[in-house]
């Protein structure tokens, strides 16, 4: 049985390790978090992802997956560690570089190193390859090096890591072929062979495309609010055109892909990436826009606001780069008191209290929906009416179904009408 070592057991690394382990590989997962290592070795998981725990449990029980804090010899090494941005919006590659340097102690001739972490263009050529070239190995001959970025949707990772087409970007043709042979053991989608440089840029553009299109929808919301237009109706009508697919607006863009990847392009070509830069600015402005709308809906800046959802998308537990977290901080800075409710986020990951729904909305003047969890789509309207000071909702995800006329419901479609609603109530 061939051995594979997955370095980094987070939202991408652990599903990757589990899928390999359930497809004929002897997998060693490596992470610096001892509690994560302990949980995995017990057959449980430390993150929320549909279908993942059963895969991990099965692999551990059958002896095909073991977790450790140290790397060991293997035939293939997959690097799946974070690449966050720093305060200057540039990529922090320290985790990737440290992982590569750690591998140097155990790598041998014939091994393949695959970087799945998202990285700026030219990182494989200018940063990663030199690390291995500085040792005794001839990159592309003694060892093989490739960038094979993940392209999966949280909540569907264990499905899409298998079924999606996979970009295989080797440092040379031999490296591309070696990496493709490895993924061919379980990927049912197409294996798209290319260069490392094209693989880097392709992954970044996939997420940048979505970020730019979300920015267009968010800008439409602002324009429509000024002109008294229903932005959501406009999007629905425009999307009836056979060649138009406007994205949906929201409170901002979060997660470790859409909110981060465009900066990797801007870092390398700042003058040329004007549209990408403007889109980032628009999406980054949405938390302030949301706070402005809240301030128009309530009586004073001392009012209580109930926050529903802290994660950057629905039905996951990931709060990385979440605009909801930014909005919470801005509301607190203004002076609002907050009730917080997110059934997917554990208290240990938060500095603020995560309450029950009833506790969060008690005496609140407005419910602010920031995440489209399934639990929020049909709320108990009687509980809202009985417990809130004023039963008002601002739904930035347009995900609620509200039937009672006693509840003032505002979304990004009827923002222009909100002042009329509040005047009637007062």
Helix, strand, or coil here: 233?
A: helix
Q: For 158-180, write each residue's pLDDT tens digit.
A: 999 999 999 999 999 999 999 99
Whether residue 107 is found in the same domain as residue 200: no
**What integer pLDDT is reported at residue 154 of this predicted model?**
87
Whether residue 237 is found in the same domain as residue 152: no
Whether residue 177 is found in the same domain as residue 239: no
Whether residue 221 is found in the same domain as residue 324: yes
Residues 250 and 139: their CA atoms lie apart, in Å, by: 45
Whether residue 348 is found in the same domain as residue 405: yes
Whether residue 157 is found in the same domain as residue 251: no
* pLDDT average, residue stretch 204-209: 97
Whether residue 419 is found in the same domain as residue 282: yes
Q: For 357-405, write each residue's pLDDT tens digit.
A: 999 999 999 999 999 999 999 899 999 999 999 999 999 999 999 999 9
Whether residue 377 is found in the same domain as residue 398: yes
* pLDDT average, residue stretch 203-231: 96
The single residue of 5, 100, 148, 203 carrying the catalytic annotation is: 203
pLDDT at 424 over 70: no
End-to-end CA, the chain: 72
Whether residue 123 is found in the same domain as residue 28: yes
- Choosing from 157, 189, 221, the residue where a domain stops is 189
Q: For 12-63, write each residue's pLDDT tens digit.
A: 999 999 999 999 999 999 999 999 999 999 999 999 899 999 999 999 999 9
* pLDDT average, residue stretch 400-413: 94
Q: Is 257 a catalytic residue?
A: yes
**What integer pLDDT is reported at residue 423 of this predicted model?**
43
Domain range for 416 is 195-426
Helix, strand, or coil here: 91?
A: strand
* pLDDT average, residue stretch 230-248: 97
CATH number for position 407: 3.40.50.720
Whether residue 46 is found in the same domain as residue 170: yes
- Choosing from 158, 189, 220, the residue where a domain stops is 189
The single residue of 76, 148, 257, 399 carrying the catalytic annotation is: 257
Q: Is 203 a catalytic residue?
A: yes
User: Could you give the number of structural domains in the chain?
Assistant: 2
Q: Other CB atoms closer than 10 Å to residue 232's CB: what's the count?
A: 20
Query: What are 329's two structure tokens?
Result: 């901080």
- Choosing from 155, 189, 223, the residue where a domain stops is 189
Query: What are 212's two structure tokens?
Result: 């730019």
Whether residue 236 is found in the same domain as residue 289: yes
Q: For 110-136, write each residue's pLDDT tens digit.
A: 999 999 999 999 999 999 999 999 988
Whether residue 162 is found in the same domain as residue 78: yes
pLDDT band with cut points at 50, 70 and 90 for residue 421 = very low
φ/ψ (deg, to 5) at 303 = -65, 160
Give the residue ranges of DSSP H helices in 259-303: 261-268, 274-297
């Amino acid at each position: 049985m061939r051995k594979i070592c997955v370095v980094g057991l987070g939202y991408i690394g652990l599903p990757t390790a589990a899928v390999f382990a359930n497809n004929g590989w002897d997998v060693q997962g490596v992470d610096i978090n001892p509690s994560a290592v302990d949980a995995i070795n017990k057959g449980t998981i430390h993150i929320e992802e549909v279908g993942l725990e059963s895969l991990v449990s099965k692999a551990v029980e059958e002896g095909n997956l073991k977790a450790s804090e140290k790397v060991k010899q293997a035939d293939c090494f997959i690097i799946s560690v974070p690449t966050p941005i720093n305060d200057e919006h540039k990529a922090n590659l320290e985790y990737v570089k440290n992982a590569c340097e750690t591998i140097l102690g155990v790598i041998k001739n014939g091994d393949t190193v695959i970087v799945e972490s998202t990285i700026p263009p030219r990182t494989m050529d200018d940063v990663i390859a030199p690390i291995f070239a500085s040792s005794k190995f001839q990159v592309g001959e003694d060892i093989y090096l490739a960038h094979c970025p993940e392209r999966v949707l949280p909540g569907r990772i264990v499905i899409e890591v298998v079924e999606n087409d996979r970009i295989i970007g080797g440092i040379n043709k031999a490296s591309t072929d070696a990496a493709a042979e490895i993924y061919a053991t379980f990927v049912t989608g197409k294996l798209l062979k290319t260069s490392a440089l094209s693989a880097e840029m392709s992954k970044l553009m996939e997420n940048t495309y979505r970020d730019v299109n979300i920015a267009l929808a968010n800008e439409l919301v602002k324009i429509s609010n000024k002109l008294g237009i229903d932005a959501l109706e406009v999007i629905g009508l425009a999307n009836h055109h056979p060649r138009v697919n406007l994205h949906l607006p929201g409170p901002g863009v979060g997660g470790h892909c859409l909110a981060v990847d465009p900066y990797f392009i801007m870092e390398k070509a700042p003058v040329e990436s004007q549209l990408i830069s403007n889109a980032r600015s628009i999406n980054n402005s949405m938390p302030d826009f949301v706070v402005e709308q809240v301030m128009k809906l309530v009586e004073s800046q001392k009012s209580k606001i109930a926050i529903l959802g802290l994660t950057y998308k629905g039905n996951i537990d990931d709060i990385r780069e979440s605009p909801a977290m930014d909005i919470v901080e801005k509301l607190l800075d203004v002076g609002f008191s907050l009730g917080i409710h997110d059934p997917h986020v554990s208290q240990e990951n938060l500095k603020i209290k995560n309450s029950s729904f009833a506790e969060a909305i008690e005496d609140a003047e407005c419910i602010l929906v920031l995440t489209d969890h399934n639990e929020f789509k049909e709320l108990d309207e009687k509980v809202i009416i009985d417990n809130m000071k004023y039963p008002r909702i601002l739904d930035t995800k347009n995900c609620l179904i509200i039937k009672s006329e006693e509840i003032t419901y505002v979304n990004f479609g009827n923002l222009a009408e909100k002042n009329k609603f509040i005047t009637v109530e007062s």
